[in-house]
Structure 1
Amino acid sequence: MKRGKNYKEKYKLIDRTNLYDVEEAISLVKKVATAKFDETIEAHIKLGVDSRHADQQVRGAIVLPHGTGKSVRVLVFAKGDKAQEAIDAGAEYVGAEEFIDKITKENWFEFDVVVATPDMMGVVGRLGRVLGPKGLMPNPKSGTVTFEVGKAVNDIKAGKVEYRLDKTNIIHVPVGKASFDEDKLNDNLNVLLEAIKKAKPSAAKGQYFRSVTITSTMSPGIKVNPAKI
């Protein structure tokens, strides 16, 4: 892949042979995040597990202490009092069957997170083939299938992020924006790493954190020393 001049200049600032401390990596990623827009800072964490095995899955959700810096649009499947609770909490879209046709027939995806009450999962299940591949299917483990829809919406708006393994046993999670100060990015990243550490499956053997890389939207990756996590 051909890289531009700006990317190459950023690349020179990063020692590719070095494993940085978390604080050093955060400081450096802010230094190279020089795009004309507010770049997203992401963590990419490779774990010593095998996601093909059910007893080695790593999945959950946390509220980052300083949020993600991103405005999140929430779709809630609920009826009656629970629908009103979702509206009061600030959900952008609240309803039931009418959204099934809108998504399947109109290819409508003007939302970032889907929440559903348990009694609505029979309806939402019809969207599995559509929402599943996009990572939008509600799930009890991530707190998006719940009768506490008000709390769920509030948590999502406050900066709740879901972490889960991809097929290569890597977790990809945004931890803030380049405009965040270093302390906020450090807090967010450390809370994420601690949550993933606590979620370590008992079946996982050997080194758990295989690699941790911090990147901004337009910069090369910066490797964190996993031994110091």
Structure 2
Amino acid sequence: ETVELHLRTALDPRHAEQQLRGTVVLPHGLGKDVQVLVFVEGEGAKLAEEAGADYVGSDDLVKKIEGGWTDFDVALATKEAMGKVTRLGRILGPRGLMPSPRAGTVVEPEHLPKAVRDAKAGRVEFRLDRTALVHVPLGKVSLNEEELLENMATLVEAIVKSRP
């Protein structure tokens, strides 16, 4: 079971200048093993594998996902691979798995190791929904109270910093 934080804000999500969005790496992670998939070709594939990515590939992964497979928690991609990944939008988008530059999940090949490590360490994305709420996981109930509180403090600090 997951402990989540739901914050009500005074922002109006209908106004572009009042959008709230960002990512933060939680100090104690989410308390679960995160499955990371990386869309990459060439040299970057080796870097992603060495950094601990669970699934690395390009065309092969695109075909697998088109077949209905989505057994992963985070999808990363290089800019070069995004051309192939965009056609997965209708599958990955509704599940919140579509790589996007805004979310920090589309990266340069040389930044893949850090992106994979961050994803594995428990990087979470937060954004304002259409009712001006922010919904974010803090961790599993298996984490102790102190760890959950530290995760919450880090998260609230990141949200305050990214407020418009």
Q: What's 2:144 paired with?
A: 181
Preserved CA contact (<8 Å) 1:78 1:116 = yes
Counterparts of 1:11-30 in structure 2, within 5 Å, are none
What letter matches 1:141 in structure 2?
A: R
Q: Deviations over 1:129-185 (max 9, x none)?
A: 221111111122322110111110101111111111222222211112222222211
- The DSSP-based 3-state class of the residue aligned with 1:141 is coil
1:44 aligns with 2:6: yes
1:34 aligns with: none
**Correspondence 1:103-118 to 2 at 5 A:** 103-104=65-66, 106-118=67-79
Structure 1 counterpart of 2:18, one-letter code: Q
1:15-56 C-alpha deviation (Å, 9 max, x unpaired): xxxxxxxxxxxxxxxxxxxxxxxx311101122222233222
In the alignment, structure 1 residue 137 sits paired with structure 2 residue 98: yes
Residue 183 of structure 1 aligns to a residue whose secondary structure is helix
- Asked whether the equivalents of residues 61 and 141 of structure 1 are also in contact (C-alpha less than 8 Å), the reply is no
Q: Deviations over 1:77-97 (max 9, x none)?
A: 001111111111111111112
The answer for the alignment partner of 2:56 in structure 1 is 94
In structure 2, distance between residues paired with 1:99 and 1:193: 35
TM-score by length of 2: 0.93
Task: After TM superposition, list the pairs within 5 Å mapping 1:152-167 onto structure 2.
Answer: 152-167=115-130
Distance 1:59 1:190 in 2: 17
Report the equivalent of 2:39: 77
1:124 aligns with 2:76: no
Residue identity in the other structure for 2:128: L
TM-score calculated relative to the size of structure 1? 0.67
Max Rg structure: 1
Moved more, 71-80 or 139-148: 139-148
State the Cα deviation string for residues 85-129 of structure 1 (Å, max 9, x = none). Answer: 11111111111122222112x211111110001111111111112
Unaligned regions of 5+ residues in structure 2, if any? none
Which aligned segments of 4 or more residues in structure 1 are displaced greater than 3 angstroms? none
Superposed, 1:204-215 pairs within 5 Å as: none
Q: Does 1:146 align with 2:137?
A: no
- SS at structure 1 position matched to 2:53: coil
Secondary structure at the aligned position of 2:28 is classed as coil
Q: What CA distance in whole angstroms lies between the structure 2 residues aligned with 1:110 and 1:180?
A: 24
Identity of matched residues, %: 54
Q: Distance in 1 between matches of 2:72 and 2:142?
A: 24
